[in-house]
Structure 1
């Protein structure tokens, strides 16, 4: 018996150094890391104590927290609907049919992993919810094929690439969306940043270069870290059941007729057609979609049309709701933190002002400032995995420092976007919906996604810092 075990261990492929390191980190995180909500509470308490230590009175700090708690509710709802709209589209029957066709394209298991990774990144540029769910379903569909041997873990990790690198560089970027919308920018932030259009953030050629380089890098990492067919662990090897159990949807009473008829869907789409035409008849459609309300309305409208029948739409909406629980719970705390940072003052200086001066003191020029912002945002992103909510916290002092040192405001937003998502590769917070689709645990994927993090971070951060030299500073533009 002992000889058999020793032989099996000797025959098993030995994982690489980075994979073994990441597994050690995963084991530590699973044992010691609390839910992300606990980090939000810790951040709230820390900022409150820092504001008092900075010279603010406890009453002023408490008042600022209470007043700021509901200050970003419109943005909170908008970001929740970004996720819901993406899920609805990804779960629609036509998209499911498209996914089945896409699953037949790769000819090898290793090629399939690369294919899933590239698809995940490209979809995330439009909507991270679509990317996450479509990629998970795509992996399951490819895993059903009998003609290739797919490493289910590597493919699942590839399906997460859009959340580690990609979604904050496209039109679903919460920071870029917020800065492009006067109605979404908190009153405390508007005087510091003004309105920053997509032409200065995601639609710059510099951002396109980062996307191209990062996508190519991701694909290469996928290719060289995917096990050979002999060492691959398929879904069957991992004990994952790939059978989809679908509840049959049929009307059971006369009152159900309209739920299973496309009549009302057609009427609503016809009703919205005039709005759609007036909204998009002139100008760049991507700029038009920079309005979060417009963005969300389009996705909900497209989702309703793709589902065709109201019952299918309602079911997908319900399935999407768990994914936004963290947004609805945590974002109000970010609003309270932002107010404590900017509204509580010692004399005429807020804690945000002091932190901004600290950034300026460390940075000798815009490039050094960009590097510091990137490192800081990545570290904070590991503990607060929320691009939009965390931007509310960081923006007041980061953008104030950018103004003082002469760093381009739009590219400062993009440096934040590039760095902030990378910790998602090693923090499984946003991985949870994907894990539900794949029926895996975070430890199954993080061995691969950690390697993406270790290689991505130095490459894309150096590129982001170098590109700051191609911009010139401009003062905030008020609406």
Structure 2
């Protein structure tokens, strides 16, 4: 089907993607602009230049533990997804679908379910599944629609799962930026992603997204295949030992011994704590994925090579999160002439604009719009949380649900923002414009569905005062 014959929604989406690719700078530029805007706002509020500069410098390195934890979320997910045994699993899964549209719906389902475990794993796993399906010459599957379906994990439900950076941050007081802990206290997973309301929202999004993916996939006559790919990187060959000194790198001995230590510790953690509490610890979560990746690759050299391929995907996190730490400190640690911080003023604005009943709608819409310009789940939460959660406290909104409002709304702009598509597009050999026509239709369906369910389900929750950790 030629571009001129595409449905008008797809044509509009393609124009939006082309505009974004041409005019939108790197996400780091948006983060720097955010720092400058907040710094100027602090100065206009009466803060001194010295206090403003000191707050930025103090906050810049305040998120190093959380930054490294997010880096390992990306690495762990990628390395597990590229293990040889997982590749064989993908090959078997690719045999299941019997039609092109069924294959697209299957990819959407797999993408979203795996993203609840790890968004980094989901992107790579679903992308490799699409490539395996495309190799089936008898299956007339549209490669673009399948690529869009592979992206639904990150575009729909990832932030409602275990790798939700906002929920993980709120459950780990040691990783929280200055000022936030005093506002929200510790929010365990039982009050965020494991709420029955959150599980119901997740289930609804998965069902609706799969139906839309199936309905929008071109039929066999109009399907376009893998020939659309500009490049396709073959799987890395198995590493070969070339020198005697490399024998330990190619022997499973170190893998077995190190795995015994790691899984022994993990077993003791899960035995001593409820599952929700144990998995909410980012260090435990990351060690679980890294240990599993090491075991699946079996030999250290294969594991190390996979990590090397994963590291470039962490550059955005490493460069942007320190800037978000600086923004958080500028918001919470620089009082103006009246003694009020920017976070306090913004929370007052939220209280004036929203009510307890409309909080989910106001915050959800605001967070979704901001997410298009600041494409970082954890980083954006660090910016928003101080004033958003202060407003939630004053309006007596359930604090855990306020986190989930952010999580669900934050995923919406991912559906059309090229930033998060890049790892998947690299696996598929496609460009953002190839898949965004399909994800744009998903966005049109998701916006009213997400905002409506956030408002409706939020009405079933009562306010719970924050629980502050005991300081010894």
What TM-score do the two structures reach when normalised by structure 2? 0.97
Please tell me whether the aligned partners of residues 235 and 241 of structure 1 are also in contact (alpha carbons under 8 angstroms): no
What's the offset of the Cα at 1:264? 0.4
Matched, 1:432 2:422: yes
Q: Distance in 1 between matches of 2:461 and 2:386?
A: 21
| Structure-1 residue corresponding to 2:291 | 301
Cα gap change, 1:143 to 1:214, in 2 (>3 Å): same
Cα gap change, 1:461 to 1:58, in 2 (>3 Å): same
**Residues 328-407 of structure 1: pairs in structure 2 closer than 5 A:** 328-346=318-336, 347-364=338-355, 366-407=356-397
What's the CA shift string for 1:443-478, capped at 9, x where partnerless?
111111111111111111110111111111111110
Q: Distance in 1 between matches of 2:354 and 2:234?
A: 54
Matched, 1:126 2:117: yes
| Structure-1 residue corresponding to 2:215 | 224
| Structure-2 residue corresponding to 1:261 | 251
What's the offset of the Cα at 1:245? 5.6
Q: Distance in 2 between matches of 1:286 and 1:98?
A: 28
| Structure-2 residue corresponding to 1:149 | 140
| Structure-2 residue corresponding to 1:167 | 158
Q: Distance in 1 between matches of 2:23 and 2:370?
A: 18
Please tell me whether the aligned partners of residues 324 and 380 of structure 2 are also in contact (alpha carbons under 8 angstroms): yes
What's the offset of the Cα at 1:246? 3.6
Cα gap change, 1:272 to 1:376, in 2 (>3 Å): same
Please tell me whether the aligned partners of residues 171 and 286 of structure 1 are also in contact (alpha carbons under 8 angstroms): no
- In the alignment, which of 15, 23, 37 is matched to residue 32 of structure 1? 23
- In the alignment, which of 62, 70, 76 is matched to residue 79 of structure 1? 70
Q: Distance in 1 between matches of 2:359 and 2:230?
A: 47
Q: Distance in 1 between matches of 2:432 and 2:213?
A: 17
Q: How many residues align?
A: 468
Q: Distance in 1 between matches of 2:404 and 2:13?
A: 27
- In the alignment, which of 443, 458, 461 is matched to residue 448 of structure 2? 458
Q: Considering only aligned residues, what root-mean-square deviation do their CA atoms show, in Å?
A: 1.4
Please tell me whether the aligned partners of residues 232 and 427 of structure 2 are also in contact (alpha carbons under 8 angstroms): no
| Structure-2 residue corresponding to 1:105 | 96
Where 1:349 maps in the other structure, the secondary structure is coil
Q: Distance in 2 between matches of 1:330 and 1:243?
A: 28
What's the offset of the Cα at 1:274? 2.8
- In the alignment, which of 16, 34, 41 is matched to residue 32 of structure 2? 41
Q: Distance in 1 between matches of 2:209 and 2:235?
A: 33
What's the CA shift string for 1:144-180, capped at 9, x where partnerless?
0022111000000100001111110011000000101
Q: Distance in 2 between matches of 1:279 and 1:77?
A: 21
Q: Distance in 1 between matches of 2:231 and 2:41?
A: 50
What's the offset of the Cα at 1:13? 7.8
What's the offset of the Cα at 1:270? 1.6
What's the offset of the Cα at 1:242? 5.5
| Structure-2 residue corresponding to 1:286 | 276
Q: Distance in 1 between matches of 2:75 and 2:172?
A: 20
| Structure-2 residue corresponding to 1:54 | 45
Q: Distance in 2 between matches of 1:147 and 1:85?
A: 34
| Structure-2 residue corresponding to 1:88 | 79
What TM-score do the two structures reach when normalised by structure 1? 0.96
Please tell me whether the aligned partners of residues 178 and 329 of structure 2 are also in contact (alpha carbons under 8 angstroms): no
Gapped regions of structure 2 (runs ≥ 5)? none
Where 1:396 maps in the other structure, the secondary structure is helix
Q: Distance in 2 between matches of 1:323 and 1:477?
A: 36
Gapped regions of structure 1 (runs ≥ 5)? 1-7
Q: Distance in 2 between matches of 1:222 and 1:323?
A: 27
Q: Distance in 2 between matches of 1:143 and 1:292?
A: 36
What's the CA shift string for 1:97-149, capped at 9, x where partnerless?
11111011100010000000110000000000110000000000000002211
